[in-house]
Structure 1
Amino acid sequence: MTAAARPAELPLFGQMPGDISVSFEFFPPKSEKMEAQLWDAITQLAPLAPSFVSVTYGAGGTTRERTHATVARIIRETGLVPAAHLTCVGASKAEIAEIVDQYWDAGVRRIVALRGDPPPADGGKFVPHPEGYTSAADLVAGLTARHDFDISVAAYPEVHPEALSAEADLDNLKRKIDAGASRAITQFFYSTDAYFRFLDKVLAAGITAPILPGIMPVTSFAAIRRMSGNTEIPGWLEAMFEGLDERPGPRALVAAVAAADLCKRLYDGGVRDFHFYTLNKAEQAYAICQLLGLRPNTKPVTNPVENAA
């Protein structure tokens, strides 16, 4: 038996045209060393001309301040378009209004609106602030009423762990889109079938907004398991990383190839927009984009927001 040859014996990523759009997620640094790592990642990935870069956000004043500082620096020092994360956790509507007004005044026009994960002190159960938003859809409606933001929300191809059912989860996504969201970004996944089945259900529900696949290269298999929720971790993926726990170099190479293969299969199914969870590291995301045919933009990236108050 012989392996079936690809057309013209091309390698797996041969002649990829690079006709894709990418976006990257970062998290705000907690130390000077982490800040240096973040800005190294931003500097390396900026030439790929992402459509936007998002900065995560958690409950609590310190985290909010770090997110705001990171977003402000992106606006001040780069030509990238930042999208600031916002959650419903631990804040009143008035507090969120103050935050979004500050973002708007700083030139931020994109928001990633999330319900947010409850802090451990709440026993893992989301409890709305007495004067706050009760859901991501509620938050989107509030943001839309206040400013003309471009809003992204979360989607779950394999169902949110707290959803009553797949149908309830899809209904929740529709409420977020109907409230004014422009697109959804998925939780990371490793099954293209799960993503495409989800798209079929989304379209059947009358949702036409783009659903960007969230791509998470495996930097730590233990971490992926911890964060997976309802996300299936295929046996073949686990086998690929067997014995690499203490070998970060080979693990990073395998992770980049595995994620690039996932993206290639999504590309072959018609996907052209990809969102990468970078964990503030550039190498893997850059390598994946390279394999997909995307090349650096040699022209300066300009920020279209600009200077609007």
Structure 2
Amino acid sequence: MVNEIHRPAPASLQVAVADTLKWGTPGRVPFSVEFMPPRNDAAEQRLWSAAEAFHDLGASFVSVTYGAGGSSRERTERVASRLAVKPLTTLLHLTLVDHREEELRDILREFASLGLTNLLALRGDPPGDPMGDWTPVDGGLNFAHELIELVRSMPECVDFDIGIASFPEGHYRAGSLEDDTRYTLQKLQAGASYSITQMFFDVDHYLRLRDRLAAADPVHGAKPIIPGLMPITSLKSVRRQLELSGASLPTDIDELLTRAAAGDEVKNAAGIREAGIEVTSRMAERLIAEGAPDLHFMTMNNVRATQEVLHNLGMAPAWGPELGQDMVR
């Protein structure tokens, strides 16, 4: 049944995301993908098809986002529990938005009971306006490091492996890159074992983040930093990504996409997409050369764009019905 909760292996047998980064991989570097809880049955079937494809392609782990204020909590848990028995190493996002501390404890106990022991600990953005002012709910927590400390204080969560978000260009609320470095280290020092970055489009920002953290704390700052990539498939989508994330688009990429559009984004959609996939592929190539521990693709529950990038990296077959396949078969 679509709504059935699937029980994965006991928590002690759940593979930690941090461990997947240490293992060998058939590709040049491990890769992982982010899914969103589907909104309807058709979207859910599309998600399962994508999960099967990424499993076949050898994803090191998959992550599942968490809606503002727990709006997708039931779907997030159900999707994650089913993914975990495919089997796919599954990472659950959790935010502080609109949750009191006792509610967070209940959620964490539920995750533990389902054997879902990989957690991405996030403060989260204000619902309705991601760039708005942050106000914690009465009885709630204020910072992601407090969520990590809460997890580490709970006997039920002793097996949890915790990741955090990091920000190559600095979090927009941080007064400076130095402040952002201090806040990121605070989360790592509280018990997180790695970070996944917000999406970015300039690899230099990722490298400078890595340098800042390692220089400020040679122990905790040296923990793995997984770059978050969203393949560029349209000007509309990249503009929306920039608006939501606060990331910047380098001038050369902006100019390349603008030339591909040639004044008509609809007519030249295929050219824009081709240029965008090439940009993401070049970024990924450089990240591999610079020693990134994993490439984390934000997929919007689709396979094709990510598979095209992986193919350009020599890590997946080409996409296309004319090649006798629709995904990986």
> What is the TM-score normalised by the length of structure 2?
0.79
2:287 aligned with 1:266: yes
Mapped contact 1:225–1:233 kept (Cα < 8 A)? no
Matched pairs, number: 279
- Note the 1:83-98 alignment, pairs <5 A: 83-98=91-106
Report the AA paired with residue 236 of structure 1.
Answer: D
- The separation in 2 between residues aligned to 1:272 and 1:174, in whole angstroms, is 19
Give secondary structure in 2 for the equivalent of 1:69: helix
Deviation digits for residues 121-155 of structure 1 (CA, Å, limit 9, x no counterpart): 79811111221111011111111222121111000
Which residue of structure 2 aligns with residue 70 of structure 1? 79
Deviation digits for residues 12-67 of structure 1 (CA, Å, limit 9, x no counterpart): xxxxx832011110100001221122122111111122221100002234411111
Mapped contact 2:307–2:316 kept (Cα < 8 A)? no
- The separation in 1 between residues aligned to 2:35 and 2:82, in whole angstroms, is 13
CA spacing shift, 1:239–1:151, aligned 2, 3 Å:
same
- The separation in 2 between residues aligned to 1:219 and 1:143, in whole angstroms, is 38
2:107 aligned with 1:109: no
For structure 2, the 5+ residue unaligned runs are 1-25, 318-329
Tell me by how many angstroms 1:274 deviates.
1.0
Give secondary structure in 2 for the equivalent of 1:120: coil
Q: Percent identity?
A: 35
Deviation digits for residues 189-215 of structure 1 (CA, Å, limit 9, x no counterpart): 111111111211111011111011111
Mapped contact 1:217–1:256 kept (Cα < 8 A)? yes
2:251 aligned with 1:238: no
- Note the 1:165-184 alignment, pairs <5 A: 165-184=176-195
Tell me by how many angstroms 1:93 deviates.
1.2
2:300 aligned with 1:279: yes
Mapped contact 2:63–2:92 kept (Cα < 8 A)? yes
Report the AA paired with residue 85 of structure 1.
Answer: H
Q: Which structure carries more relative contact order (alpha carbon 8 Å, separation 6+)?
A: 1
Deviation digits for residues 172-227 of structure 1 (CA, Å, limit 9, x no counterpart): 10010011101011111111111111211111011111011111111332332333
2:127 aligned with 1:119: yes
> What is the TM-score normalised by the length of structure 1?
0.84
Which residue of structure 1 aligns with residue 16 of structure 2? none
Report the AA paired with residue 203 of structure 1.
Answer: A
Which residue of structure 2 aligns with residue 302 of structure 1? none
Report the AA paired with residue 100 of structure 2.
Answer: S
Mapped contact 2:35–2:65 kept (Cα < 8 A)? yes
For structure 1, the 5+ residue unaligned runs are 1-16, 297-309
Which residue of structure 1 aligns with residue 67 of structure 2? 58
CA RMSD of aligned residues (A): 2.0
